[in-house]
Amino acid sequence: MTLYKFYYPTDKPNVSIKFTIDFNKDTYHWATGKSKEKGYQLTATPVKREGVYEKFEAFSGFYKVIYPIGRQSKKRLQEAVSKFHTDIEKYLDYFRNAGYKIEKHEENINGQKTLF
């Protein structure tokens, strides 16, 4: 279940980079067969928004456990969101290297203006 969602605009019409944070309880990665950490997981995918629908391609993004922890709470979710916004530039670099043009812009997060 998605606990946090953030869209970062690109230069293409109706295309954004969608970042979601959820809590991963699995310890086994189904696709690779390797073990996986429990904790708050970031998933990033480019999406084309058309009304209420979103279109995306398979294997066009990434996931990463950004806050490994055994149990979830509101305070820990806030910490995971804070870590995400602190490291957003390196996550955006992934998409810049894949050919997306992403400009820095000002965003209002939790009542404070932040420059990306």
3-state SS of 82-110? HHHHHCHHHHHHHHHHCCCCCCCCEEEEC
Give SS3 for 55: strand
pLDDT at position 31 is 75
Binned at pLDDT 50, 70 and 90, residue 114 comes out as very low
Using alpha carbons, select from 89, 36, 35, 98 the residue that is nearest to residue 61. 98
pLDDT at 44: 96
- Amino acid 113: pLDDT: 46
Examine the pLDDT at 98 and tell me if it is beyond 70.
Answer: yes
> What sign for the dihedral angle of Cα 65, 67, 68, 71?
negative
Condensed to tens digits (0 to 9), the pLDDT of residues 20-36 reads 999 999 888 777 788 88
Q: What is the pLDDT of residues 38-89, one digit of tens each?
A: 999 999 999 999 988 999 888 889 999 999 999 999 999 999 999 999 999 9
pLDDT at 109: 52
The pTM of the full predicted model, rounded to 2 decimals, is 0.82
Q: Which residue has the higher pLDDT, 109 or 83?
A: 83
Do residues 116 and 88 lie in contact, with contact meaning Cβ atoms separated by under 8 Å?
yes
**What pLDDT shows up at residue 116?**
41
Residue 19 pairs in a beta bridge with: 6, 44
